[in-house]
Structure 1
Amino acid sequence: MMDDNKLLKFALDAGEIMLASGAETHRVQDTMHRILSVSHSTGVEALAMSTFLIVSIPSNKSGSLTLTRGVYNRSVNFEKICSVNDISRAFVSGQITLGQAARRLDEISHTSAYSSMARIVSSGVACGGFTMVLNGSWVDGLAAFVFGLIIGVLLSYSGKTKIPYFFSCLIGGFIAGAGSVLFHKFVPTAGTDMIIIGSIMPMLPGMTMTNSIRDIMEGNFISGTSKMAEALLIAFAIAGGVGFAITALGY
């Protein structure tokens, strides 16, 4: 007979990885509910919000069992989302046992798709690339590449030290604004606007905004509105950092 506590923990682990990797709320709820349905009990519940998960299952031994878990670290990792989906489907279909599924899930949770150096370099390449795509010159692209590296280091450091992402975006916006203005003073032909637009790309909350709209369309209004508020606050932080830098340097 399957252990209800282990089943609940497995559902929470799967939901936590998915939510922390950028999955939509309704997708997380559906995955946890499918996992709990293996118990063949009626009345199983799975609830996912922006920062916490709740799962509940009726138990013949000790009544209803309910577990909750907070999820505070979030990023974007589609590979982990797909891996968790594959594991949950294999478990629900009976291809693997609960123990095997839990071990595979633990391996996924402790793996990192990319190293810190790869993320930093990718940030620089993305910034320079976006600037070039937006008709910026190669000089603008080079400047955005350098500022993107600096912002990548900032985001990597803030992720390790638990600095609020809102504050990191404020500083990142200031770096983009101040760096572009100073660069323009040394290279008058440089396009300040193109450099700023390219440099802030890694911080823009596009995924958060998209998920908020999808959650609202699915009827998850609390999660949707909270994610939208988060996206707007991040956007305001980036704009505030850029605006303060431009005003302070008298551009």
Structure 2
Amino acid sequence: MDDNKLLKLALDAGEIMLSSGAETHRVQDTMHRILSVNHPTGVEALAMSTFLIASVSSDTYGSLSLTRGIYNRSVNFGKICSVNEVSRAFVSGQLSLEKASMRLKEVNEASVYSPLTRIICSGVACAGFTLVLNGAIIDALAAFIFGLMIGVLLKYSRKSKLPYFFSCMIGGFIAGAGATVFHKIVPTAGVNMIIIGSIMPLLPGMTMTNSIRDIMEGHLISGTAKMVETLLIAFSIAGGVGFGITIWGS
């Protein structure tokens, strides 16, 4: 079995999982199991928030190591489950190295939901959270509209490679300014309920959960980095909401 292709397979699996919101220890375990197929000993797999390292001890080439940077992160449990299925099939011998690589490529390029579906679901989620938090129907309607706008923002910000912190700040501004203007048009609408519901797609709940789990698992650097990322996103959202209220509230 080609060690270079094996290292690439492990990095491909780790990249898809880490960029889809998987925990650090889960990513490392998957990479380690893949590498152990051809190397029972001398295997190292390290996953951080923004990069991966895989290393094996080869009889032919000596020690081999590959690294890869992770530049895009989102939440996609479907891809994580698909990578787990491919890795289990490869480790058990049901898939060859070449077929496993092709399967991972298909998983990486697959799109579970269309952009329009994502945008609509963003609006529905915002309206639903507003109702759950005891908001009125008119508040949910406003949150639905602003949720659609934030969904469009997130879609095009990924295409334009806009840093997620700026996307959260702009999204917060849309929620704060939109809720304030909507309240002036409909005085019975609750500004707080509209804002809380509208910013739900932006909140870094998964990142915070993973940071705590990583710290508890002993991955202090990754856990701390994710915690800092969570705080920066929260500050960006709060800053955007405050700026929107300040501008349009006057």
**Does the alignment reach a TM-score above 0.5?**
yes
Mapping for residues 196-235 of structure 1, pairs under 5 Å:
196-235=195-234
> Contact between 1:173 and 1:241, CA under 8 Å: does it hold in 2?
yes
The answer to whether the 8 Å contact 2:39/2:56 transfers is no
Q: Following TM superposition, by how much is the alpha carbon of 1:99 offset from its aligned partner in structure 2, in angstroms?
A: 1.1
- Please identify, of 240-249 and 140-149, the stretch whose mean Cα deviation from structure 2 is larger: 240-249
Residues 129-165 of structure 1: per-residue CA shift (max 9 Å, x gap): 1111111111100000000000100000001110000
Residue 248 of structure 1: how far off its partner (Å) = 2.0
**Secondary structure class of the residue paired with 2:16:** helix
Match of 1:51 in 2: 50
**What is the letter of the counterpart of residue 66 of structure 1?**
S
Does 1:74 find its partner at 2:73?
yes
How far apart, CA to CA, are the structure 2 residues paired with 1:72 and 1:186? 42
Relative to structure 2, which stretch is displaced further, 38-47 or 151-160? 38-47
Q: Per the alignment, in what secondary structure is the counterpart of residue 38 of structure 1?
A: coil
1:144 aligns with 2:167: no
> Please, which runs of 5 or more residues in structure 2 have no aligned partner?
none
The structural deviation recorded for 1:249 is 2.3
Alpha-carbon distance in 1 for matches of 2:118, 2:77: 15
Q: Distance in 2 between the 1:173 and 1:106 partners?
A: 35
Alpha-carbon deviation of 1:62? 1.4
| Letter of the structure 2 residue corresponding to residue 140 of structure 1 | D
Match of 2:188 in 1: 189
1:60 — aligned with what? 59
**Mean CA deviation greater in 137-146 or 37-46:** 37-46
> In the TM superposition, what whole-angstrom CA distance separates every residue of 1:36-62 from its partner, at most 9, and x where no partner exists?
000134211000000000000011111
The match for 1:237 is 236
Q: Secondary structure at the match of 1:188?
A: coil
Task: Provide the C-alpha distance between the structure 1 equivalents of 2:248 and 2:110, rounded to a whole number of angstroms.
Answer: 43
Distance in 1 (alpha carbons) for counterparts of 2:145 and 2:112: 24
**Residue number in structure 2 paired with 1:132:** 131
1:116 aligns with 2:112: no
Partner of 2:102: 103
AA aligned to 2:216 is M
Matches within 5 A, 1:26-45: 26-45=25-44
For 1:36 and 1:76, the matched residues in 2 are separated by 25
Secondary structure of residue in 1 paired with 2:54: strand
Q: Please tell me the residue identity of whatever aligns with 1:27.
A: R
SS class of match (1:118) = helix
Bigger mean CA offset, 95-104 vs 183-192: 95-104
Measured in 2, the distance between the counterparts of 1:122 and 1:41 equals 45
- Classify the secondary structure of the residue corresponding to 2:249: coil
Q: What number of residue pairs does the alignment pair up?
A: 250
How big is the shift at 1:102?
0.9
What amino acid is aligned across from residue 193 of structure 1 in structure 2?
N
Give the secondary structure class of the aligned counterpart of 1:39: coil
Q: Distance in 2 between matches of 1:3 and 1:40?
A: 11
Q: Any idea what the Cα deviations from partners look like across 1:198-226, whole Å, max 9, x if unmatched?
A: 00000000000000000000000000000
Which secondary structure state, in structure 2, belongs to the residue aligned with residue 5 of structure 1?
Answer: helix
CA contact (8 A) 1:41 1:58 kept: no
Q: Is the 8 A contact 2:165 2:232 kept in 1?
A: yes
State the one-letter code of the partner of 1:110.
E
Query: Is the Cα contact below 8 Å between 2:39 and 2:57 reproduced in 1?
Result: no
Identity level (%): 75
Residue 173 of structure 2 contacts residue 244 of structure 2 at CA under 8 Å; is this kept in 1?
yes
